[in-house]
Amino acid sequence: MPEKKLPQELIDFWPEVFEDIEIDVIPDEYLHSVIITFEDGVTWNVDLTDEAKEQDIQTVLYDLVEDYNYSIFNIDFRLDVEKIKRDVSKRTNSFLKKRK
């Protein structure tokens, strides 16, 4: 089974945390945007701001892929690295305080 490592540019952002992480699922709240590239070279950048996240992202993306399945060349999920870093730091600090 191949490793599901994070992209190198993300690992480079915070290597001491991201280097050894393997992923299977990315929670919706950590998605920043989705970049869809079509076979004809057209690229859509689907911004997943807080307003967009009020919708059911999974359904929206599923419908989009269903509608354009045969013309999609690539789908690139972009993460909100700052939010991930903030949440990991916050939870780590909380955990360490409880251990004292």
Closest C-alpha among 45, 26, 25 to residue 35: 45
Residue 2, in any domain of the structure: no
| Number of independent structural domains in the chain | 1
Q: Which residues pair with 43 in a beta bridge?
A: 37
Among all chains, which residue has been given the structure tokens 């079509």? Answer: 38
Residue 55, in any domain of the structure: yes
Residue 17, in any domain of the structure: yes
Residue 3, in any domain of the structure: no
| Model confidence at 19: pLDDT above 80 | no
Tens of pLDDT, residues 39-95:
999 999 988 866 556 667 777 778 888 898 889 998 888 888 888 888 888 888 887
Residue 84, in any domain of the structure: yes
Residue 48, in any domain of the structure: yes
Domain carrying residue 51: 8-93
Query: What is the value of pTM for the model shown?
Result: 0.64
| Model confidence at 100: pLDDT above 70 | no
Higher pLDDT, 23 or 71: 71
Helix (H, G, I), strand (E, B) or coil at 6: coil
